[in-house]
Structure 1
Amino acid sequence: MRYDTLSRSRSTLNRRVQAAASAADLPGRVYPHCLRATAASYHAYKGVAPVPLQALMGWSDLATAQKYSRISGTATADALRRFHHG
């Protein structure tokens, strides 16, 4: 299949994401921005630094990448605290 020949309108993309989410039996509402945020969170949790994360996601503002890095750092610290202290 040639992906560069597929329509890329917003409604087409949303419809394709919904079809994939249904086929994968994912609960809740799944939409392109949700998947993008999930990808950003995943990479931040895996330790991708803010500048490479910014480049990967195509953000013009470094603060956006730093937000994901701070959130992942806080979540990691919280998980470690729960694990080690009860």
Structure 2
Amino acid sequence: MIGRFVEAQKRVAAFMKDNQDEALQIVAEELDLDEEAVREMYACYDFSMDVTDEDKKGFQKTADFMLESGMIEEELNVNSLFL
């Protein structure tokens, strides 16, 4: 199941890279957003499936915040989520 998801994600990423204008138009239509706004936001996103150490630090900060604010009840070590 995970392998199929990863392959689908890779196909989507390749489509977006090879057909950027069409992909942005689809996103704008599906989310009912202005296409120019979607184009501006697109530059801020990294659609890579790779998780870096920086990503993990950010996830841990979020988990710590959620614990401190009572959104979750138990401490979470985000490194336990990755193989």
Shorter-chain TM range is 0.3 to 0.5
Q: Greater relative contact order (Cα 8 A, min sep 6): structure 1 or 2? A: 1
More helix by share: 1
